[in-house]
Amino acid sequence: MGATNRKSISSLTLGVLSIIIPYIGFILGILGISLSKRSIVEIEISNEKGKGLAISGRICSIVGLCIQVFLILLLILGLVTYYTLINSH
């Protein structure tokens, strides 16, 4: 058993940030999912620690991505409603 995989720590960090930071979190969520995939493969090959961190990072990234998609759709809906109301008067 080696040291903890650094990519798994980074994927967890990106996953948590994707939940917290609005709009930019969409990109962070995608990066977190990608990094967690890579770290899980590396952990299985090199027998390092951190598989739980990588899985947690993937889950947080997916949750953050869902929240960001909802926020973006809400923003688009708000803009469409605003411009519809402006043009109707």
Q: pTM of whole model > 0.75?
A: yes
Domain total of the chain: 1
- Chain segment 14-27, per-residue pLDDT in tens: 999 999 998 899 99
1 assigned to some structural domain: no
- Chain segment 1-52, per-residue pLDDT in tens: 578 999 999 999 999 999 999 889 999 999 999 999 999 999 999 989 999 9
42 assigned to some structural domain: yes
CA 30-20-27 angle, to 5 degrees, is 20
Q: CB of 50 within 8 A of CB of 78?
A: no
Q: Which two tokens stand for residue 86?
A: 């402006």
d(CA 38, CA 33): 9
d(CA 53, CA 33): 12
10 assigned to some structural domain: yes
18 assigned to some structural domain: yes
Domain that holds residue 46: 6-88
Residue (of 10, 9, 39, 14) closest to 28 by Cα position: 14
